Amino acid sequence: MVFTIAVFVLLWIFQISFLEKFYESIKTRDTGECLEEISESYEKMEPTQFGNYIDDMALKHDICIEVLDRYRRSIYSSDVIGDCLIHGRENRTQIYIIGILENPDKQIRYKIKNSRSNCDMLIFGCTLGNPDNPEGYILLNSALAPVGATVAIIKRQLTVITLWLVILAFLISLYLSKRIAQPITNITKAAENLAHGDFRTKFDGRGYLESKKLADTLTYAERELSRVDMMQRDLIANVSHDLRTPLTMLKAYAEMIRDLSGDNPVKRNEHLEIIINETDRLALLVNDILDLSKLESGKQKPNPSEFEIKSKLGEIIGRFKGISEKMGYSIHFTSDGEKMVYCDIVKIEQVIYNLINNAINYTGKDKQIFVRQINLDDGVLIEVEDTGDGIEEEKIKLIFDKYYRSENHKREVVGTGLGLSIVKAVLKMHNYDYGVRSTIGKGSVFWFKISEWDKN
Ligand code: ADP
């Protein structure tokens, strides 16, 4: 609306207030140019041509032209247009010529009111040939038509146009505000609901493309927020569940020692052993949670160093020696030979440890585990294979998620449901490829690839 009004104020000022001034200045310039052109043409043209030329110019510029000789007698004269002040006005032409001669520039530019027609006239004149000894004179009469009538017409026209355009501008702004402002107001209201935790809020971006995009982005943000919210709830539920179980056992066995087995060293030791195991389990869980939260905070960057992978694998497998001997597990290690790798040794060690630990936990009755180190041109492939039940295709996607544990896992299998999440976080941090090949009933192969690292 403001823009429309501004345009019209400008139009009114220029069209109405300045119209007369514009018209006069244009007429003055035009008449002046005409005078110059005629005086130049006089010198170049044959006298026979000049007469026609004067008529043409008079018609073209809507002016009266009178050419006089040195004796001030009319030699060429255009047709008379309106009530002109030069044609047939001997006395006046004489006065104009005197005016020309008295002027140092040897020309006149008068604006005179014609008392008969009550209209302003521009009387321009100059000498022909040498100004000091003129061969003749040219006089032009150009009528300044009164602009009052024109202004009145324009005023009426502008009033009608202004009215229509103000109405149109009002309707357009109404439509635009509905199309642009309304969806944004709706989205803002919905975003406020979302901020208050209502994840079922609908973002309606009807209208133009940008508001639709904004609504889509907010819908996406809402989905992600609700997912994070759900994961957080799950995490708290899972952690508290996992903390509660060992704590209940700790309390139960401590009470048993106090009330029953305190005096029976065999029983007491057995119960104390359980308490120690449960404490270990608790410590493991808390450590895993801490590790994972550190890894996922994104604050941790790999701290790489160079080391020999074959020796490292041997060393980690060695750590399982106790359990292998005690429980009858066999870990078979095959290697393509020593190779230097460059990565965060502490974290990669944890990945290998978690994979072997899982393989022991989930391998079949034959208790066989295979660890392979395959040297490639651009890195080293590490595979950990077990002969367990395998993992169903659709579950493979889930097992790397935090706290996912298959429903059929046995209580005696020590685990927090965070092992593979830690594996995933570490490998992602290193940008290493990883995955699982699994056949139901035959076992699974967990693999990851330590790629060559540009030390620079
Ligand atoms: P946890 O072993 O403590 O349950 P993980 O994150 O290490 O947690 O593993 C998540 C789930 O993935 C396990 O509960 C199990 O169902 C499945 N899984 C992991 N490793 C294997 C494996 N080698 N064979 C079969 N299932 C496995």
Q: Give φ, ψ of 212 to 5 degrees.
A: -65, -45
Indicate if the pLDDT at residue 404 is higher than 50: yes
pLDDT mean over 400-421: 65
Residue to probe by mutation, ligand 1, list 284, 389, 405, 438, most atoms within 8 Å of CB: 405
Residue 406 CA to residue 423 CA, distance in Å, equals 17
Distance (Å) from CA 417 to ligand 1 centroid: 7
CA–CA separation, 110 and 28 (whole Å): 10
Cα distances (angstroms) measured from residue 450 to each of 247, 335, 360, 383, 456: 39, 14, 23, 11, 17
**Greater pLDDT, 217 or 15:** 217
Contact (CB, 8 A) for 387 and 438: no
**What DSSP element (H or E) covers 244?**
helix 209-259
For CA atoms 353, 355, 357, 359, the dihedral sign is negative
Instruction: Look at ligand 1, atom 19, and give the residue with the nearest C-alpha.
Output: 358
Measure the CA–CA gap between 77 and 138, rounded to whole angstroms: 10
What pLDDT is recorded for position 176?
A: 83
Q: d(Cα 420, Cα 354) in Å, to the nearest integer?
A: 7
Please give the pLDDT value at position 445. Answer: 95
Show the tokens assigned to 259: 């009330």
- Percentage of the chain modeled with pLDDT above 70: 95
Report pLDDT for 405: 65
- 455 falls in which pLDDT band (50, 70, 90)? low
Condensed to tens digits (0 to 9), the pLDDT of residues 356-383 reads 988 998 988 899 999 999 999 889 999 9
How far is the centre of ligand 1, averaged over its atoms, from the C-alpha of 443 (Å)? 12
86 lines ligand 1 (CB under 6 A): no
CA–CA distance, 406 with 398 (Å, rounded to integer): 9
The CB of 388 under 6 Å from ligand 1? The reply is yes
Give the atom of ligand 1 at the shortest distance from the alpha carbon of 354. Answer: 7
Which protein residue has the closest C-alpha to ligand 1 atom 20?
358
What average pLDDT score do residues 424-428 get? 90
In the predicted model, what is the mean pLDDT of the chain? 85
Band of the pLDDT at 123, cuts 50, 70, 90? very high
| Contact criterion met (CB below 8 Å) for 358 and 419 | yes
Per-residue tokens: 5: 């009004």
Please state, in angstroms and rounded to a whole number, the distance separating the CA atoms of residues 329 and 323: 7
Is residue 434 pLDDT above 90, yes or no? yes
Quick: pLDDT tens for 304-330: 899 999 999 999 998 888 777 778 889
With contact defined as beta carbons under 8 Å apart, do 449 and 379 qualify? yes
Which residue's CA lies nearest to atom 23 of ligand 1?
A: 359
> Which of 98-107, 297-306, 433-442 is least confident?
297-306
Q: For atom 8 of ligand 1, which residue has the closest CA?
A: 417
High-pLDDT (> 90) share of the chain, %: 22
CA distance 276 to 282: 10
- For 103-117, what is the mean pLDDT? 87
Q: Is the dihedral of CA 368, 371, 374, 378 positive or negative?
A: positive
Task: Find out whether 436 and 445 touch, Cβ atoms under 8 Å.
Answer: yes
User: Is residue 202 very low, low, confident or very high in pLDDT (cuts 50, 70, 90)?
Assistant: confident
Atom nearest to 400 CA in ligand 1: 6
- Domain annotation for the chain: domains and CATH numbers: 2-146 (3.30.450.20), 209-297 (1.10.287.130), 305-451 (3.30.565.10)
**pLDDT (tens digit per residue) in 267-276:** 888 888 888 9
Ligand 1 pocket, residue 387 CB under 6 Å: no
Measured CA to CA, the distance from residue 87 to residue 58 in angstroms comes to 13
Q: Residue 300: CB partners within 8 Å, gap ≥ 6?
A: 294, 429
143-184 pLDDT per residue, tens: 888 777 787 888 888 889 888 988 998 998 888 888 888 888
pLDDT attached to residue 212: 85
Question: What pTM, to 2 d.p., does this model score?
Answer: 0.51
Kindly tell me if the per-residue pLDDT of 408 is higher than 60: no
Contact yes or no for 386/359 (Cβ under 8 A): yes
Higher pLDDT, 250 or 383: 383
Residue 442 pLDDT > 80: yes
